[in-house]
Amino acid sequence: MKARGRPTARSLLVLAAMIATVSVANSWWVDGSDRRLGEHVAAVAKPGDIHMLSSETCAICATARQWFKQHSVPFSECIVERDSACLAAFEARAAPGTPVILVRGRAQLGFSPERVRDGLTLQDL
């Protein structure tokens, strides 16, 4: 009977190959899922449906902006530091931070593509 000790080079190679395969499959699935979600939101959203109250220093705002543009989702945006009407709209909502994304007039704090999709599709029912 062979004693169990240190892993062999072959077993380490097999383990590395399995990890690489799972990683590639996961990446493919996530990319495809995000693409499908973006296509759906772009198909459902009409100009004026999505308005983002953002800030110059908000990293999540930049992520949302990039996602909307990457998926050709129509949206408008105002920046609270540059636009007094935007600041007033932001303060009226008493939001603790940005972004505040208005989906057909309903406020969502933060950014989640899934919540944006839900905000667009649930109101269509």
Look at residue 124 in the predicted model and tell me its pLDDT.
53
CB atoms within 10 A of CB 84: 9
Residues 6+ apart with CB under 8 A from 6: none
Look at residue 2 in the predicted model and tell me its pLDDT.
58
Among 3.10.180.10, 3.40.47.10, 3.30.365.10, 3.40.30.10, what is the CATH number of 33-122?
3.40.30.10
Specify the pTM: 0.73
Look at residue 38 in the predicted model and tell me its pLDDT.
95
Angle between helices 9-44 and 113-122 (to 10 degrees): 40
42 vs 101: CA distance, rounded Å: 16
Q: What pLDDT, in 10s, does the model give residues 52-110?
A: 999 999 999 999 999 999 999 999 999 999 999 999 999 999 999 999 999 999 999 99
